[in-house]
Amino acid sequence: MTGDGTSAGSRSALDRFQSSMVMDYEKWHDGIGYDLAALAEATPSERDAIERLLLDRGTRDWRDVEALALLDTPAARAALREALSSGDAEIRLAVTRHAPALIGEAQRAASLVQALKSAGPFAGLTQVLDEAEQFHPPEVVEALLQGTLEREGDVAVHLAALLLFLHGKADEPFDMEHRPFFLRFNTDDRAKREAAFRELCGRVGADAQTILEREEARGSYK
C-alpha cells in the first residue's frame, strides 16, 4: 500500500514517479530518491512524460541527476552535461557518480576536488566521501589533506578518517578504533590542528612540512 491507501499496482508508473518527486522531511533526511522502479516500469509514453517533468523542473539535486541518468535519452544527457558546467558542486559530483560515461577522469577529479572544498554535513559530504573512497587520484588525495587543515573541524574529522583508510592504516572509512585521533581535527586552534595534521602525515607518508609551507604561501591556512 502507498501513503494514500492505494496499492502500487493500481497506480500508473507516471503517477507513482510524480508522487515520489514531492519532497518531505523524511525523504530529505534519509536520502530517499525518486521512484526509479516506477521509471523502469514506465511505458514509452510515460517515460516521455517523466522526462518532460524532469527537464521542466531543472537539475536541482542528485535525485534529478539519478533519474536523468537512468532515462539516458539525448535530452537527458544534454541536461546532465549542462549541469556539469552550470550546477553547484554537489550536482556536478552527482553527475560524475551516476553518469560517468559523460565525463573523463580529469573532469571527474576536478569536480571531486571542488566538492571537497565546499561539501558539509547534510550538504553533500556523505556523497563526496563515498566518491573519494572509490576514486582518489593524487589530486583528490591532496585535496583531502588540504581539507584536514582548511575545512571546518567537523568536516576535517571525516577527511582525516578517510585518508587513514585509503592509506591502509584503518579498517573502515571511519574506523571507530581511531576516533580519538580523528576528533583532534575538530578544533579551531591552529597549533592543535597542525599537530594533528603532522601526525596524520606521518601515518600516511605525506610530507607535512612541504604541504604546510605551500598552504602558508597561498594564505589559505591561517
What does the pLDDT read at residue 177? 95
Tell me the three cell numbers of residue 42: 514506465
pLDDT at 25: 84
According to the model, what pLDDT value does residue 29 have?
Answer: 76
List pLDDT tens digits, range 29-63.
778 899 999 999 999 999 999 999 999 999 988 89
**pLDDT tens across 155-168, in order?**
999 999 999 999 99
Q: Is the pLDDT of residue 28 over 90?
A: no
What does the alpha-carbon distance between residue 26 and residue 217 come to, in Å, rounded to a whole number?
Answer: 45
Q: Read off the pTM.
A: 0.67
* Domain ranges for the chain: 1-135, 137-222
